[in-house]
Homo-oligomer: A and B are copies of this chain.
């Protein structure tokens, strides 16, 4: 889990929107985000988030539940996630 990796993962608007949704709505399956891209594209973005350590995924029935790795992020990069979530909130 690297800083550059996390920043890169979050620099994509679609991935950032996923993370924001997880932060405010809590864990959700991939289908719940209403992403307007092909399934394979969505899967790619979830993979990036997973591989950079931003989210975790657990299979549950036929779906995969995503959740934010908040504790890990907060301990490794204190304040970073909060700053990002807060910065993107003013919408």
Report the Cα distance A45→B11, complex, angstroms: 16
- What is the number of residues of chain A that contact chain B, defined by CB distance less than 8 Å? 21
Residue A41 at the chain B interface, CB threshold 8 Å: no
**A12 and B4 contacting across the interface, CB-CB below 8 Å:** yes
Residue A10 at the chain B interface, CB threshold 8 Å: yes
Residue A82 at the chain B interface, CB threshold 8 Å: yes
A3-39 interface with B by 8 A CB criterion: 3-5, 7-8, 10-13, 16
Residues of A within 8 A of B (CB): 3-5, 7-8, 10-13, 16, 76-80, 82-84, 86-88
Given A7-B84, A78-B83, 17 more pairs with CB closer than 8 A: A3-B16, A3-B88, A4-B16, A5-B11, A7-B7, A7-B8, A7-B10, A7-B11, A7-B16, A8-B8, A8-B11, A11-B11, A77-B84, A78-B87, A79-B79, A80-B84, A83-B83
